[in-house]
């Protein structure tokens, strides 16, 4: 999600603040998207930028502009999604994933269920697919990629990436799993179909939809930083429920769970939170 720089002041008169609250109520009634779950100042700036670009004077005027055409409303919702990504972003964290986390999970189960939440155009999901195929090839791994942005999900299903998307990917993986081709004078890279057989993409709103269950690993990186504290708490607790005992939650380099022990996580590695071993033992005893 791109945002208006915080150094640029936006108008916050009592009338506009009241109008913004009405805009949020109208949007919730029409789409189910609750902007109260997002950080206020950041969301206010972001939406106000869209108001100005549309030539409107008030938030509610902008809402009427959006609902005139369904495509406008759809595009507005999609722009709220976070679409900044690349394969193997923060390579050191993926090295730890390949060296420690995935081998531990594979010792417990021959095939893994993974959820890439807020997956954008699929770079993270494809990165995990590569590691799983390297570590445990030709097993029925399942990787679910979800996002609120339908357009990005369509791109994820295509599995085509630009040069910048691959800048952090190890060269051996670039050569092994991506086929370069030229389109409109640009070099693009198509993912090997062997990766796509592990992958499934569908729309999901972390702040509104029921959570799927039974995952060995959930990767949700650089997504919850845009959420309010209450929304973060909700997401982290729902992820905990969605994990198998001993499963891992993988966050981005700017994200932390400060009350992870209260929820029931361990924190064995930076940015990795594991459902506690006590949960694993209770699960084993029950089975």
Catalytic site positions: 46, 147
Q: Residue 37: CB partners within 8 Å, gap ≥ 6?
A: 207, 227, 228, 230, 231
Token readout for 18 is 């009241």
Phi, psi of 207 (to 5 degrees): -100, 0
The span from the CA of 72 to the CA of 89, in Å, is 31
Token readout for 119 is 């997956």
> What residue ranges in 22-87 does DSSP mark as E strands?
none
Phi, psi of 112 (to 5 degrees): -115, 150
State the CB neighbour count (10 A cutoff) for residue 118. 26
Contact 197, 157 (CB under 8 A): no
The span from the CA of 287 to the CA of 281, in Å, is 10
């Amino acid at each position: 999600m791109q945002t208006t720089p915080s150094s640029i002041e936006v108008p916050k008169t009592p009338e506009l603040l009241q109008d913004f609250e009405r805009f949020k109520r109208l949007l919730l009634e029409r789409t189910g998207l609750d902007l109260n779950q997002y950080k206020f100042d950041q969301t206010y700036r972001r939406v106000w930028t869209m108001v100005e670009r549309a030539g409107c004077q008030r938030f509610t005027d902008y809402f009427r502009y959006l609902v005139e055409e369904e495509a406008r409303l759809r595009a507005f919702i999609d722009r709220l999604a976070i679409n900044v990504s690349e394969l193997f972003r923060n390579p050191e964290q993926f090295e730890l994933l390949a060296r420690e986390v995935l081998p531990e999970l594979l010792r417990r189960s021959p095939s893994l269920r993974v959820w890439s939440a807020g997956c954008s155009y699929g770079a993270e999901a494809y990165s995990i697919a590569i590691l799983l195929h390297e570590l445990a090839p030709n097993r029925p791994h399942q990787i679910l990629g979800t996002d609120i942005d339908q357009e990005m999900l369509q791109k994820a299903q295509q599995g085509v990436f630009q040069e910048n998307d691959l800048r952090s990917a190890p060269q051996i993986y670039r050569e092994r799993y991506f086929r370069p081709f030229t389109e409109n004078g640009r070099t693009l890279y198509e993912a090997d179909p062997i990766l796509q057989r592990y992958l499934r993409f569908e729309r999901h709103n972390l702040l509104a939809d029921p959570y799927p269950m039974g995952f060995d690993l959930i990767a949700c990186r650089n997504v919850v930083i845009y959420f309010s504290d209450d929304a973060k708490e909700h997401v982290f607790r729902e992820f905990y429920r969605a994990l198998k005992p001993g499963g891992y939650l993988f966050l981005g380099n700017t994200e932390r769970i400060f009350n992870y022990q209260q929820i029931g996580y361990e924190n064995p590695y930076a940015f990795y939170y594991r459902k506690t071993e006590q949960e694993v033992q209770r699960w084993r005893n029950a089975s």
